[in-house]
A and B are shown apart, each in its own frame.
Chain A
Amino acid sequence: MSSAHTLQGFKRDGRIAIVGASLAGLRAAEALRGEGFTGSLTMIGDELGEPYDRPPLSKQVLTGWVPTDGTKLPRRRDIDAQWLLGVPASGLDLATNHVHLADGNEVAFDRVLISTGVRARPWPVEAEASLDGVFVVRTRGDADGLQQALAAGPSRVLIIGAGFTGSEIASICRERDISVTVAELGPAPLVGALGAMIGDVAADMQRAHGVDLRCGVKVTQLEGDAQGRLCRAHFSDGSTVDADVAVVALGGIRNTDWLQDSGLAVGVWGIACDSGCRAFDLNGLVTDDVFVAGDVARCPHPVYEYRFISLEHWANAVEQADIAAHNMVNAQADRWPHLAIPAFWSIQFGVNIKSVGVPTFADEVVVTQGSVPDHRFVAAYGYQGRVTAAVSFNNAKWLDHYRKLIETAAPFPPPCPTPDQPVDAKPVPVDFPGPVLLSQGATVVVTGHDPSERHVTAVRTHR
């Protein structure tokens, strides 16, 4: 599709397939129409029903405030697409440009966008995972089931994994006055994403709200009663907890299984692509007609030494979808790079947590504003003397400033005092545990340089 003539023809009546009909897929479809693509658009998704928003599923939906069917994503324009929902894609044939579906059908395309996202990592023992009362939370159906179980007034809820999802659900349980035990293999909640200092704050918050938080332990067995209902959990330290609901919050698995034979650079951290969202093949060569966006994409970022980064952030899905869509219908010279600085938010135990940058790409962290004991502060992360990330607790309005510091490689620690000066403003080592020590997966992963790397560590420190 090199000549302008061919590109115009493609924009007019080409065929685009989007595999994965959630946030990234829908936003890309809208952006394609916004770019003037008038050809055929096919949306392929394994879930039935219209695309919906996932962040509320571990928040407002679980309090019972928002019904699950109230989370449909707003439509910004009519996308005039053919929707193939309820059947997952099973393969991608790049020799003939076809997507194969699990029901045997196939969809021909000129260009394809892969936005298949992530699924919840299930409890590894199938018989225990199928006990009544054992949940994961990724889909609308999952959240509906858990909401009903919480509304039924369980005697105790066990959360396995204290990442963002697990911590948010623990917070909802306390809000609903339900006893809750949180089990985390690492030394503290959120530690895999934000490091030891913030992990300690998160642990304080959980305990102050009456969470029975147990760190450094592994759940070894989920025990059911005669009726197949969860009744007890066994821990690696020999202790047990009686609980009738368990939430398995062990992070996600990227939905790339269907691409194993595609010849693309596929690994546990997703599909490697360039910063213009074009997928790499196994040899590390960039493809022309295969694009990737959202949680399943793994993309090099210039600010982070061009290392490949995998992000499970709402804003990343939106921004990357726009970039992918633009580049799918524009010539090489007009292509855009995806250079947005990552950002995410969480709400738990009455605290708004927000982050910019990549906190796992850091060696030191310093509190720059506010007060840690009061759970209102900003902490900046630094890597070899420059700012690479910041995290705020109930101080989100300052983060634009830190985004700018990250973009301009400003010196770390940031030098000048602010009116809301913390008592102790000395940098400390950021201290991320290795991936083996985390029960939940990290939501931001720096995965090194190799586009087809299959076995990588979560954080690589270059010194």
Chain B
Amino acid sequence: MSETSTLHRILDYSARADPYPLYAELRKTPVALQEDGSYVISTYREITDILHNPHLSSDVRNLSRPTPAAERRDTPSFINIDPPEHDRLRRLAMRHFGPPCTPGLVTGMQPQLTEIVSSLIDDFANTQLVDIVDDFAYPFPVTVICHLLGVPRDDEPRFHQWVNAIIDSLDYDPKTDPPEKLNLGAQATDDLHQYLGGLLEPRHDRPGDDLLSRLANDDGPDGRMTDEEIISTANLLLIAGHETTVNLITNGMLTLLRHPHVLQRLRDEPDLIVRLVEELLRYEPPVHIVPWRAAYSDITIADTVIPKGSQIMLMLASGSRDPDRFDDPDRFDPDRQDNQHLGFGSGIHLCFGGPLARLETQIALSELVRRLDRPRLVTDPPPYRPSPVLRGPIHLHIEQS
């Protein structure tokens, strides 16, 4: 079985429910050259090494053969660019989200997060059949990110479709996928940009608390983002806030239901939640793959020279299950020590919203476990979303007494 086919089998929908045995197969070749000239990296040390390697680029312009799904806009968001521009944009965004300029924001959201969670659970507390995704894990982070950005919650049905189309196009494969998949993604990207531009426009010279207003009226030492930069940043945060935490919460509930003794422990020891969420980020992370990076110059890793311009795919979820780094990696163990997982990536592109995702998931799982009455999985495995990159159930039906 060649490595190429291992990767293709991972990307194939049939592997969605349990890609982990295929990751183990992939790890036999830590840095694997594919038929199309790209490289797949699947072991922990090689992934962390390359994520700290200054010769790795996130800018599509450094690929010798640009990927079809790559962002085509003139102003990419900071996830898709390199220093120094990346550092400037991320710093400008972080000024309004975390330390050192806004240290208390995420912690200060705790009461509000708990309130949203409680009210969502109230709605299904007396229902026997619950879909954890539609009834809870999706609406919760979406409400939070909308509030944070200043996007009207009522517009959700509109941008939900765009975001879905964009996510679908992320893993576009010209060999197997119809071109519409890519075109729909491109159209949705344009629509979402236009929509966010419309929200930004009236915020100029009107200071407010939401992120769009703050970015539009910023006067920090680095100056202000251009409108295009603000839209790109808001676009990134909206998609990331939309499509990742939902999977983390859902994967969390699924994992707890598959490990009833841990679920019971969480009921008895609520403080367990902090380490439990870290283990979840290792064991069932919401982001499985960094679909592409580029070798800015030749990169030597694990005795392999990756030539300049090559496309590199990073299998984060595989790295977090690497037995050379984690003892008994396929065991879900909330007591695990030294748990430096790759759930939020590593290096300069380490997840921007990680602190918020952590808190959201901690509150969500704690409250679900506290309030659901003897929950049981209806189907195991549940049906999954199409994406191998942002992987998670599309529905998680549970029954309660």
Contacts and interface: CB of A to CB of B under 8 A. Distances in A.
Interface of A: 368-371, 374, 376, 378, 395, 397-401, 404, 416-420
A383 B206 CA distance: 56
A416 B87 contact: no
B348 A397 contact: yes
Contacts of A369: 54, 83
Contacts of B82: 419-420
Interface residues of B, number: 20
A371 B54 contact: no
B296 interface: yes
Interface string B338-374: 0000000001101000000000000000000000000
B84 interface: yes
Contacts of B348: 397-398
A397 B297 contact: no
A376 B348 CA distance: 14
A401 B62 CA distance: 20
Contacts of A418: 54-55, 296-297
B54 A398 contact: yes
B52 A400 contact: yes
B304 interface: no
7 tightest Cβ-Cβ pairs between the two chains A and B: A416-B297, A419-B82, A418-B54, A420-B83, A400-B52, A401-B52, A397-B348
The dominant DSSP class at the B interface is: loop
Given A370-B84, A397-B348, 18 more contacts: A369-B83, A371-B84, A374-B84, A376-B84, A378-B54, A397-B347, A399-B52, A400-B48, A401-B54, A416-B298, A416-B299, A417-B297, A418-B54, A418-B296, A419-B54, A419-B62, A419-B83, A420-B82
A404 B296 contact: no
Contacts of A400: 48-49, 52
Interface in B275-300: 296-299
B59 interface: yes
Contacts of A420: 54, 82-84
B57 interface: yes
B53 interface: yes
Nearest to B295: A416
Contacts of B55: 416-418
B59 A419 contact: yes
Interface in B128-180: none
Nearest to A420: B83
Contact of B53 (A368, A370, A395, A401): A401
Nearest to A401: B52
A401 B297 contact: no
Contacts of B49: 400-401, 404
Contacts of B350: 397
B54 A368 contact: yes
A404 B54 CA distance: 12
Contacts of B54: 368-369, 378, 398, 401, 418-420
A420 B83 CA distance: 6
5 contacts: A369-B83, A376-B87, A397-B347, A401-B53, A416-B297
Question: Looking at A374, A397, A400, A404, which has the most chain B CB atoms within 10 Å of its CB?
Answer: A397
A59 to B, nearest CB: 13
Contacts of A399: 52
Contacts of A374: 84
A174 to B, nearest CB: 15
Contact of A419 (B48, B52, B296, B298): B296
A41 B54 CA distance: 46
Contact of B52 (A376, A397, A416): A397
Contacts of B296: 416-419
A130 B87 CA distance: 48
A378 B84 CA distance: 12
A395 B347 CA distance: 11
Nearest to A417: B297
A371 B84 CA distance: 9
Contacts of B59: 419
A168 to B, nearest CB: 16
Nearest to B221: A350
Nearest to B299: A416
A368 B87 CA distance: 17
Contacts of B83: 369-370, 395, 419-420
Contacts of A368: 54
Most A-side CB within 10 Å, residue of B48, B82, B297: B297
Nearest to B59: A419
Contacts of B84: 370-371, 374, 376, 420
Contacts of B298: 416
Interface centre among A370, A401, A404, A419 (most CB of B within 10 A): A419
A435 to B, nearest CB: 34
B102 to A, nearest CB: 16
A395 B298 CA distance: 22
A420 B298 CA distance: 15
A357 to B, nearest CB: 15
A416 B297 CA distance: 6
Contacts of B87: 376
Contacts of A401: 49, 52-54
* Chain A CB within 10 Å, residue with most, of B55, B59, B83, B296: B83
A404 B52 CA distance: 10
A371 B62 CA distance: 21
B100 to A, nearest CB: 9
Contacts of A395: 83
Nearest to A374: B84
Contacts of B347: 397-398
A368 to B, nearest CB: 7
Nearest to A378: B54
Interface in B46-97: 48-49, 52-55, 57, 59, 62, 82-84, 87
Nearest to A371: B84
Contacts of B53: 401
A395 B84 CA distance: 10
Contacts of B57: 419
A216 B82 CA distance: 40
A165 to B, nearest CB: 22
A398 B84 CA distance: 13
A425 B52 CA distance: 20
A276 to B, nearest CB: 22
A370 B88 CA distance: 12
B47 to A, nearest CB: 12
Contacts of A398: 52, 54, 347-348
A456 B48 CA distance: 40
Nearest to A347: B100
A267 to B, nearest CB: 36
Contacts of A404: 49
A374 B84 CA distance: 11
Interface in B4-32: none
A46 B347 CA distance: 41
A24 B222 CA distance: 41
A400 B297 CA distance: 18
Contacts of B52: 397-401
A146 B350 CA distance: 38
A238 to B, nearest CB: 39
Contacts of A370: 83-84
B106 to A, nearest CB: 19
Contacts of A376: 84, 87
B124 to A, nearest CB: 41
Contacts of A397: 52, 347-348, 350
A419 B55 CA distance: 7
Interface string B296-312: 11110000000000000
Contacts of B62: 419
